Structure 1
C-alpha cells in the first residue's frame, strides 16, 4: 500500500521530496520552511510560471498531507499554511529503506565508532547521507557526496567534500569546520544549529551558489564576515547568538549583491563595541525584497530601524525585540504585512490608529504602550485574528462596533491599570479565546 501511494505521486519531483524525509530522525518534528529550503537547495522544486519556488514547495507539502504521507503538526495562524509536519514511524521506516535501495540517500543511525559507511545497495552509490547519534570521525562512502545531514553527532570531523551542496548539522560538536566550509564552492545550504566550535572563515564570500545560511548556535566563535554579503544567490539568512556583529561599511553595503534575499533574521547577543547603527541602516536599506525581517538585540534596537519599512514593500512578517523608546509607529508600514511582533520599553503614542489601517494584518503582538487610552475604530483591523498586548498602561480601551470582525484570540498580559475590559468585546462575533495574565483584580 505504501509503495503504491508513493508510485502514485504525480511527478518525480514530489517523489524526491517525499524520500528526502528519510534524512530526519524518527519522530522528528520538521519545520516546513526549513524543509523547503533543503528541497530548493537540492533542486527538487521546478520553476513554474507565476509561482516562486517557495510557493510551489508549499503546494508539494499540502499534496503530501492530503495523501496522508505526512502528518500535520501545526498550521500558521498568520498565513494559513502548514507550519510543521512529522512522518509516521511505519512510513519513516519504509522511506529509509526505499531511499537506500534507490541509491537516493543513506540514513546511518546509532553506529558509534563506525569508521566508514557504504551503501546497502550493491549497484547504486548514494550521494546523500544522514548521520544520527554518531561519534568519532565521519567518513562518507564517496568523496563526491552532495548532501550531508547530521543530528546529535559527538566530536566529529568532516572531510573536505568539494562537491557538497547541502550541509545541515544539528546539536553536534564539530572540529575544524572553517577549513571544510571554505572548500565547498558548490554549497547551496549551510545550516549549523546548536553546534559547538563554529567559526565562519572570511572565504565564505567565495560560495557563489549559497542560498541559505542558518547559524543558530550556542555561541558563534567568530564575527560574521562581511564577505557574506558578496554572495549574489542568498535567499535566506538566519544568524543568532553571535558574540559580535558589525555591519559592513557603507561602501560595501551599497554594492550589496543578494538581490533575491527574502528572509533576514538577526539575533545579537552582543553588538560589539564597534557596532555602528548608521552602517546597519545602510545594510538594511538595500534589502528591499525582504518578506521576513526579524531583529532582536540584548541592547536596545535603534529607533531609526522603523524608518526602513518604507523601502520594503514585500514584507509579510516583522519581529522586533526590543526598542527603548518609540515615539510613534511609522505610518509607512507595508500593506503586505500579515504578522507584526514589536516590543519596546515605552511606546508613547497609541499604535492602533496606524496598525488598524493594515488590511492584511492577521497576527499582532505588542509590548510597552504607556498611554492611558487606546481606541480601535469601526472599520479597523478587517483581517486581524490574533492580538496580544503586553505591559500596556492603558486605563481605558475604546472599541467601536465593527472593529476586528475576525478576532478569535485575545491575550492581555501585565496590563495592570486596566480595571475593566472594553464593552466592545461583546460585539466581536469571532472571539473564542480570551486569556488574562497578571491583570489587576477588580471585585466589582
Structure 2
C-alpha cells in the first residue's frame, strides 16, 4: 500500500465507532492537514477522493451513500477501525483522548465525547498540537484559554458553544483570531451568528464550515483570505470575497452579495448555493442574471432558493446559450421559484445533468414538457410543485431515468409519459 493511502487509512481513526463519515468533510480535512499533494492535472480534492475510493475498492472502507456515482458518506468496520487506532497510536499519529491518558506530544488530538468537560478543563498544554477535533453530539462550553494553540492547522469544534465576554454563543472568541496557521475551521452547530472581523487574520484558511448555525445576517468579510477553497454557512447578510480563484464551494450567499462578486475570478467553483428570503434581504434583492454564471465552466452542483429565476429560451440560439453556460452541471435544485416559463424545455439540453429537483415551485395554469431525447443523462427528477396542470414526456426522453417523483399540492397533475417510465414514478396527486 502506498504511503499516501496508508496515511488516509490511519486518519480514519479520528472518527468515533460506527460513525457515518461525510466524505466531503474528510476530503477537506485531509487537504488541510497537508496529506494531499496537488497533481498537475487534478486538484487536491480530486486526488483525496481517489484515495478514499481506492480504500473502498480494497474493502477497507464501506461506501454508505452514493449520489451521481460519487460516494457521499462511508463507514469503517469496527475491526479495521481498531487496527487503524492501534497503528496510529504506535506511530504517535493521533491521540484519542480518554479519562486515563492524554498525550502531550502528539500533533493530533481527538475527543469523541465531552466527558463532563474533563478534557477541556484539565488538559495539559501540548505545544506540538497541530490539529484538534471534536466529534459527537454536544452542548458543552469551550473555555477560550484552552484554544491558545498558535500552531494549530485544523480546528473542528462542531456542537460546542463559546463562552466569551459573558456572552454564550453568537460570536467566535477573539483567541481564534490568533490561530494564524489555521487551514480548517469547523464551527458546525455552534449557535454562532457572527463571523468577526478578525477572521481576516487567518490568511492560510482553506475551509470555513459554519453550517447548521443560525443565519449570518451581518457583514462577513473574507476578502483577505485568498486561499479559501470552501465556504459553507447561510450568509444572508453581505458576504465579501475578492480574489476567489481557489474557491470551489460557496454555500450559501444572497443574490445581492452574489451580484457584487467578480464572477470571472470564480473559475474553479464546483458547488454553489444562492439564497434569497424577503424577510432578510427584501430591500436589497437583486434578480439573478443568467450571465453571472457564464464563467463557471466547472460548476457541478447549483442550488437556487430564489423567488424568480428567468431562463430565456425563446429561440434556438438561447437554448444553445444555456448549454454553453452550464457545460459541467450535474445537479440543479430550484426552491420556492415561481416558474413563469417552462424550465424543462431549456434544461433538457444540459449535457451532464443527472439530478434535477424543483422544490415548492409554482407553475400556475400551465404545462411542462420534455421533448424526445431530452435529459439524456438524467437519473433522478423530483417535482414538488405548488401547482402544475400537466407534465408531458415524449417517448424517447430521459433514457437513463431511475426515479421520478411528482407531488402537486393544490390539485392533481395530469401525467402523460411513456409506459416504460411508469415504474419510476413516485408521488401523489397524479392522474394518467
Which TM-score tier does this pair reach, normalised by the shorter chain? 0.7 to 0.9
How far off is 1:197 after superposition?
5.3
Question: Secondary structure at 1:193's aligned position in 2?
Answer: coil
Matched, 1:162 2:155: no
Q: Who is 2:347 aligned against?
A: 355
Q: Who is 2:245 aligned against?
A: 259
Contact kept, 8 Å, 1:294 with 1:318, in 2: the verdict is yes
Cα gap change, 1:200 to 1:140, in 2 (>3 Å)? farther
> For residues 272 and 155 of structure 2, what CA distance do their matches in structure 1 show?
24
Q: Who is 2:113 aligned against?
A: 133
- Pick one of 7, 24, 31 that aligns with 1:33: 24
How far off is 1:173 after superposition?
2.2
> For residues 217 and 356 of structure 1, what CA distance do their matches in structure 2 show?
33
Question: Secondary structure at 2:374's aligned position in 1?
Answer: coil
Q: Who is 2:317 aligned against?
A: none
Matched, 1:295 2:274: yes
Mapping of residues 5-404 of structure 1, within 5 Å: 9=1, 11-76=2-67, 78=68, 80-109=69-98, 111=99, 117-118=102-103, 125-134=105-114, 135-136=117-118, 137=120, 139=123, 141-151=125-135, 152=137, 154-157=140-143, 158-176=146-164, 177-196=172-191, 199-219=194-214, 223-226=218-221, 228-240=222-234, 245-248=237-240, 256-266=242-252, 278-283=256-261, 285=263, 286-299=265-278, 302-321=286-305, 323-328=306-311, 331-332=321-322, 333-366=325-358, 367-391=361-385, 393-404=387-398
* Aligned residues: CA RMSD: 2.6
> For residues 221 and 363 of structure 1, what CA distance do their matches in structure 2 show?
29
> For residues 261 and 178 of structure 1, what CA distance do their matches in structure 2 show?
26
TM-score (ref. length: structure 1): 0.83
Contact kept, 8 Å, 2:391 with 2:413, in 1: the verdict is no
The runs of at least 4 aligned residues of structure 1 exceeding 6 Å deviation read: none
Contact kept, 8 Å, 1:161 with 1:180, in 2: the verdict is no
How far off is 1:141 after superposition?
4.6
Q: Which moved more, 1:46-55 or 1:158-167?
A: 46-55
TM-score (ref. length: structure 2): 0.85
Deviations 1:140-177 (A, max 9, x none): 55122100001345222233111100001121223345
Contact kept, 8 Å, 2:63 with 2:71, in 1: the verdict is yes
Contact kept, 8 Å, 1:328 with 1:348, in 2: the verdict is no
Cα gap change, 1:198 to 1:376, in 2 (>3 Å)? closer
Contact kept, 8 Å, 2:394 with 2:418, in 1: the verdict is no
> For residues 217 and 166 of structure 1, what CA distance do their matches in structure 2 show?
19
Contact kept, 8 Å, 2:239 with 2:257, in 1: the verdict is yes
Unmatched segments (≥5 aa) in structure 1: 1-8, 120-124, 269-276
How far off is 1:432 after superposition?
4.6
How many residues are aligned here? 400
Q: Which moved more, 1:288-297 or 1:212-221?
A: 212-221
